[in-house]
Structure 1
Amino acid sequence: MQNAHYTALEAKHASLESRIVEEQARPAPDLAMLADLKRRKLRLKEELSSLQ
């Protein structure tokens, strides 16, 4: 069960990274959205670290 949870968190983390890269590539990135995405990614990273 924990392995499935960890894998799901990794997938969400990768998805957020992809969205961050996409937003940064735009000519006028939404800085508020970028900040939110980065905050969410950091929370996931912390949760992943706590599960190891």
Structure 2
Amino acid sequence: MEDNEILRRLELLRIEHRDLDAAIEALSGGNAPDQLQIARLKKRKLRLRDEIAMLEDRLIPDIIA
């Protein structure tokens, strides 16, 4: 994957991560929150965070000590 492709993918993942934040907040604020749905969204959010971290690591060049 080229650096520009990685940057584009990172942008999309960060947008989805923010959208999940909003969705979790909206579901949590109701009278009877759907705990199963909230748990699924949180799990998806964690997977996104892991993928974001992996892609960010690919952008940083290895430093030889």
TM-score, with length taken from structure 1:
0.96
Task: Answer yes or no: is 1:11 the counterpart of 2:15.
Answer: yes
- Counterpart selection for 1:47 from 45, 51, 64: 51
Structure 1 runs of 4+ with >2 Å offset: none
Once the two structures are superposed, the pairs formed by residues 14-33 of structure 1 within 5 Å of their partners are: 14-33=18-37
**Alpha-carbon RMSD:** 0.5
- Considering fraction of residues, name the structure with more helix: 1
For the pair shown, the structure with the greater C-alpha radius of gyration is 2
Structure 2 residue ranges without an equivalent (≥5): 57-65
Q: Between Structure 1 and Structure 2, how many residues are aligned?
A: 52
Give, in angstroms, the shift of residue 40 of structure 1: 0.3
TM-score, with length taken from structure 2:
0.77
Report % sequence identity.
33
